């Protein structure tokens, strides 16, 4: 872990392209003639076209905290609207025939006076599960616009710092490590977490990066297209109050939980409208409302490709249009386009390839800087390009954002000297970084996620494969037992070790050996687990790293109410219908894998 050969590969390799479908679009048969029955314009809502026998009403929505809402009584058309989110519903008799959530941005005053009137905007666009390779294949128009129009610099060697969105998001928003690093057995160091679950989940959160911008006088926006956003999943308290001046979470709460049945379906695609379209509209409303005010926005898109390997394809044109529509504004702003991690669940055959296992841990990142800064001097672009050729993490991205906000303005963005920010784990891309080699052992990166390339040799010894696979299943049971979840979860039965890779060529005279292992459990779960392990042949001692779940497991671990252990649990209390449906989905995914392989061979 203290040396790093950075991964360089063909993003369009045939082993990848066999899974790529540029025509994927679940809305291809949607109603392209649909026009909303209602509208919200200039603070007033009304019905666009009255229809005989149809009765329409609307109600205002606002947030109390991340789990509770204020919902007003229904109001008639023509009434003034003083809220940012409005659910409009129409009935024919008692039957719901139309539901729609409108949005508007009502300008507010900044939290504190603006410290720097010339402060540039900072816009962050985060697409969940977007690896470097997936971005390259899925966003040709967007990446071309960022590169040619905004001179964006790509950082192809970013390493995720946690398995899923939450640990990576906590690094970006709060600068905190919430997954331990067990690197001692692999040439690195063991690192304890900054926050235990009791801190980041059982208590309300504050002191986020949004607060930093508000304290500098920026107007702020956070928008997400999923109710169980990063700070709330699976059942965490999240924010006690809106972390930004404008916060889209109440919209998602109505759409997913508190709205009428028909409203809950209006963004499912049948009307050619999906969750992200509402997000894009709210973003545009925000930037239009604060044209001459420094802005900080963070858009987090979950629903497009978290569960769909080809989901980003249909968004490329839309993102390119957003860039084109706001070209002048973006040209004078910092624009950050990134993923939190790569595609990581489902597509078993792809994830088991060398490229798939790499992309899972390698989120995309590009950053563009304001035109007036890059025209004044190419030095900042040059240092960014130098840093782009090194291993980086989300902690470094966060340090860069803080540098943009708090430190560079005093030097007109001309300072390239090393900056150590108190309490932060990362280093700004706009400056020289520490001269020590940047490796997984020196950076806050768990060894099981490390993208640095080492030689791996397939182990064919069936006895060893089975023995280590059974030990991994036993280890998972031990973890559940230690966390007092054993009584809730069925015991896994070992089915097979689908992959066992030895780090480096096997030297039988050596006592200690490191492996990457992937195991499948037997029915009813057919769970797929992956980790790294260290095996001492002399003592027969085996130590395991963090456990990664590779297959989709839905709500089968919900009984734990714990995002660390839900992936390791197949709950005993599931109904026969739930079990049948889980098995059916597993069978469909298996058939899909087989079809993909057959098509590739054909």
In the chain, the percentage of residues whose pLDDT exceeds 70 is 97
Dihedral of CA 488/493/498/504: which sign? Answer: positive
Dihedral in degrees, nearest 10, Cα atoms 267, 273, 274, 275 = -70
63-71 average pLDDT score:
96
Residue 400 pLDDT: 98
Confidence of residue 391 (pLDDT cuts 50, 70, 90): very high
CB 277 within 8 A of CB 293: no
- Within 13 Å, how many C-alpha atoms sit on residue 86's CB side? 27
405-431 average pLDDT score:
97
Q: Which residue has the tokens 């928003």?
A: 173
Residue 179 pLDDT: 94
Q: Is the pLDDT of residue 558 over 60?
A: yes
Please state, in angstroms and rounded to a whole number, the distance separating the CA atoms of residues 165 and 528. Answer: 19
In the chain, the percentage of residues whose pLDDT exceeds 90 is 82
139-163 average pLDDT score:
97
The residue ranking higher by pLDDT, 244 or 546, is 244
- Short-list 2, 287, 10, CA closest to 123: 287
Residue 595 pLDDT: 60
CB 119 within 8 A of CB 409: yes
515-537 average pLDDT score:
92
Model-wide pTM > 0.95: no
63-76 average pLDDT score:
96
- Torsions phi, psi of 103, nearest 5? -135, 155
Residues contacting residue 5 through CB under 8 Å, at least 6 positions apart: 452, 453, 454
Please state, in angstroms and rounded to a whole number, the distance separating the CA atoms of residues 337 and 343. Answer: 16
Interhelix angle 140-150/316-325, rounded to 10 degrees, is: 30
Residue 510 pLDDT: 78
219-231 average pLDDT score:
94
CB 497 within 8 A of CB 468: yes
Q: Is the pLDDT of residue 598 over 70?
A: no
Length of the chain: 602
Q: Which of 227-236, 243-252, 316-325, 409-418 has the lowest mean pLDDT?
A: 227-236
Q: Is the pLDDT of residue 8 over 60?
A: yes
Residues 272-308: pLDDT tens digits? 999 999 999 999 999 999 999 999 999 999 999 988 8
Q: How high is the mean pLDDT of the chain?
A: 93
Residue 323 pLDDT: 98
Tell me what percent of the chain is helix, strand and coil, each rounded to the nearest 5: 30, 20, 45
The b/e string for 499-528 (b: 16+ C-beta within 10 A; e otherwise) is: bbbbbeeeeeeeeebbbbbbbbbeebbbbb
Where along the chain do its domains lie? 27-104+219-285, 115-214+293-449, 456-576
Q: What CA–CA distances, in Å, run from 193 to 75, 180, 254, 341, 476? A: 49, 5, 34, 19, 21
The answer to whether 115-214+293-449 and 456-576 have equal CATH topology is no
Residue 49 pLDDT: 83
Tokens of 290: 């604060």
Residues 462-506: pLDDT tens digits? 999 999 999 999 999 999 999 999 999 999 999 999 999 998 766
What is the CATH number that goes with domain 456-576? Answer: 3.10.450.10
DSSP 290: T
Beta-ladder partners of 516: 501, 532
Separation of first and last alpha carbons in the chain: 41
Q: Is the pLDDT of residue 431 over 80?
A: yes
What DSSP string describes 301-347? E-TTTSS-TTGGGGGHHHHHHHHHHTHHHHHTEEEEEEESS---SS-
Q: How crowded is residue 73: how many other Cβ atoms within 10 Å of its Cβ?
A: 7
Q: Is residue 82 classed as helix, strand or coil in its secondary structure?
A: coil
Residue 407 pLDDT: 98
Q: Is the pLDDT of residue 600 over 60?
A: no
CB 349 within 8 A of CB 556: no
Residue 117 pLDDT: 92
CATH topology of domain 115-214+293-449: Alkaline Phosphatase, subunit A (3.40.720)
CB 493 within 8 A of CB 521: yes
Residue 591 pLDDT: 67
Tokens of 363: 């989120």
Please state, in angstroms and rounded to a whole number, the distance separating the CA atoms of residues 306 and 275. Answer: 13
49-70 average pLDDT score:
94
Please state, in angstroms and rounded to a whole number, the distance separating the CA atoms of residues 446 and 190. Answer: 9
Residues 304-349: pLDDT tens digits? 998 889 999 999 999 999 999 999 999 999 999 999 999 987 777 7
């Amino acid at each position: 872990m203290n040396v790093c050969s950075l991964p360089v590969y063909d993003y369009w390799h045939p082993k990848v392209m066999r899974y790529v479908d540029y025509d994927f679009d679940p809305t291809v048969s949607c109603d392209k003639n649909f026009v909303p029955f209602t509208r919200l314009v200039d603070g007033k809502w009304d019905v666009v076209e009255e229809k005989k026998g149809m009765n329409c009403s609307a109600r205002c929505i606002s947030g109390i905290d991340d789990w509770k809402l204020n919902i007003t009584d229904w109001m008639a058309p023509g009434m003034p609207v003083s809220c940012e989110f409005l659910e409009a519903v129409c009935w024919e008799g008692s039957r719901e025939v139309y539901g729609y959530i409108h949005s508007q941005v009502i300008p507010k005053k900044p939290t504190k006076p603006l410290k720097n009137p010339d402060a540039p905007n900072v816009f962050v666009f985060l697409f969940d599960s977007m690896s470097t390779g997936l971005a390259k294949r899925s966003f040709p128009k967007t990446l071309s616009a960022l590169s040619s129009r905004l001179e964006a610099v790509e950082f192809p060697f970013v390493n995720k710092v946690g398995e899923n969105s939450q640990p990576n998001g906590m690094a970006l928003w709060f600068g905190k490590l919430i997954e331990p690093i067990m690197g001692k057995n692999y040439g690195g160091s063991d690192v304890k977490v900054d926050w235990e679950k009791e801190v980041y989940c059982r208590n309300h959160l504050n002191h986020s990066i949004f607060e930093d911008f508000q304290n500098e006088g920026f107007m702020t926006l956070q928008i997400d297209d999923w109710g169980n956003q990063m700070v709330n999943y699976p059942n965490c308290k999240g924010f006690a109050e809106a972390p930004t001046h404008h916060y889209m979470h109440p919209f998602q709460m109505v759409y997913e939980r508190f709205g009428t049945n028909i409203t809950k379906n209006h963004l499912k695609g049948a009307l050619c409208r999906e969750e992200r379209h509402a997000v894009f509209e709210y973003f545009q409303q925000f930037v239009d409302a604060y044209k001459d005010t420094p802005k900080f926005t963070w858009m987090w898109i979950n629903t497009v490709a978290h569960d769909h390997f080809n989901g980003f394809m249909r968004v490329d044109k839309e993102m390119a249009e957003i860039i084109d529509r706001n070209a002048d504004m973006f040209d004078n702003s910092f624009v950050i386009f990134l993923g939190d991690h790569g595609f990581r669940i489902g597509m078993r055959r792809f994830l088991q390839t060398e490229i798939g296992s790499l992309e899972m841990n390698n989120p995309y990142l590009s950053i563009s800087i304001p035109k007036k800064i890059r025209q004044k001097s190419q030095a900042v672009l040059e240092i960014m390009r130098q840093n782009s050729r090194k291993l980086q993490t989300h902690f470094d991205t966060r340090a860069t954002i803080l540098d943009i906000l708090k430190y560079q303005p005093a030097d007109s963005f001309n300072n390239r000297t090393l900056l150590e920010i108190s309490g932060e784990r990362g280093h700004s891309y706009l400056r020289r970084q520490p001269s020590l080699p940047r490796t997984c052992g020196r950076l806050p990166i768990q060894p099981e996620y490390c993208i640095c390339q080492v030689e791996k040799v397939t182990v064919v010894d069936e006895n060893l494969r089975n023995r280590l696979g059974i030990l991994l299943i036993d280890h998972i049971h031990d973890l559940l037992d230690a966390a007092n979840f054993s009584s809730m979860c069925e015991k896994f039965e070992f089915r097979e070790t689908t992959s066992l890779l030895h780090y480096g060529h096997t030297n039988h005279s050596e006592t200690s050996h490191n492996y990457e292992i992937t195991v499948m459990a037997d029915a009813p779960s057919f769970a797929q687990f992956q980790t790294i392990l260290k095996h001492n042949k002399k003592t027969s001692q085996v130590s395991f790293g963090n456990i990664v779940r590779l297959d989709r497991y839905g709500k089968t671990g919900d009984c734990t109410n714990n995002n660390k252990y839900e992936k390791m649990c197949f709950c005993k209390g599931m109904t026969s219908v739930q079990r049948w449906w889980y098995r059916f989905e597993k069978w469909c995914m298996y058939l899909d894998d087989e079809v993909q392989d057959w098509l590739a061979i054909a």
